[in-house]
Chain A
Amino acid sequence: MDLEQIFESHMNDIYRYLFSLTQHHAQTEDLLQETFIKAHITLLAKPIHDIRPWLFKVAYYSYIDSIRKQKWIVVTNEINQIDERTPEQFVVEQDSYRQLLKLLNELKDIERQAILLCDVHECTYEQVAEILTMNINTVKSHVARGRKKLRKLLLREE
């Protein structure tokens, strides 16, 4: 299959994942581009069998890299930070999805990752372990802890 077709079939997933991480459309676009560039380069060199979790992994590392870079790029242009979102999108995102993202922010970073990948993006524990490069049992305990905290937060919200 053509590389572009592969990307097209997964891009919405990756976009949502990256958006959940950044909560910012412009940045998500940048990261999406970066993810595809990295994926392009790697896929030219060697074939990847299970492409979906692997793409998540690439996206995850692109995000991590961007956070590191942001620490030394101080020049940020406030004007460009403004989102170009249509009103209806705004409404949609005001709902459960927005709320989920807001709640996720209150978790530890690693728990947030585990929940996002495992529950929101329906990856298996093995895949999550592979994406985050950690032990499967550690993943399981992070997911469990994350769920517990989210449940508590949900109750409080209600």
Chain B
Amino acid sequence: MELGKLSKLFFSVIGGMSVLSGILALILINIAVLTGINVIMDDLYFSLMWMTFMLGIIAVFPKSSRSFGMRGLLLGIYLFVFISVTFIVGWWIYPFP
């Protein structure tokens, strides 16, 4: 395979993985909210969030994987906003120390 195609494939895989980990993190949130079992504060969530975000950034630059990268990046930002909101505002509405 020629170099151009190889790098294209590489970035597509990166972008795909970004989106995939974002979806997994979203599934985690859904489970947590719908069942009331707290799985969000887990390390798993944070690793998925950073993976979504970082891989998204990598994939957003090459044109061939930009649409994946954009999705991954936006998902990463959303995941970050979600965890910030639940942490900061959540801590605020929860009246006990």
Contacts and interface: CB of A to CB of B under 8 A. Distances in A.
A33 B64 CA distance: 12
Interface in B53-71: 60-64, 67
A103 interface: no
A75 interface: yes
Nearest to A33: B67
Contacts of B63: 26, 30, 76-77, 80-81
Majority secondary structure, A binding face: helix
Q: How large is the interface on A (under 10, 10 to 19, 20 to 34, 35 or more residues)?
A: 10 to 19
Contacts of A33: 67
Interface string B59-86: 0111110010000000000000000000
Interface in B17-62: 60-62
B4 interface: yes
14 contacts: A26-B63, A26-B64, A30-B63, A33-B67, A75-B60, A75-B61, A76-B63, A77-B62, A77-B63, A79-B4, A80-B62, A80-B64, A81-B63, A82-B4
A26 B5 CA distance: 13
Contacts of A76: 63
Contacts of B62: 77, 80
Contacts of A79: 4
Contacts of A2: none
Nearest to A82: B4
Interface string A82-121: 1010000000000000000000000000000000000000
Task: Return the 10 tightest CB-CB contacts between A and B, nearest first.
Answer: A80-B63, A77-B63, A77-B62, A80-B62, A75-B61, A80-B64, A77-B61, A26-B63, A84-B4, A76-B63
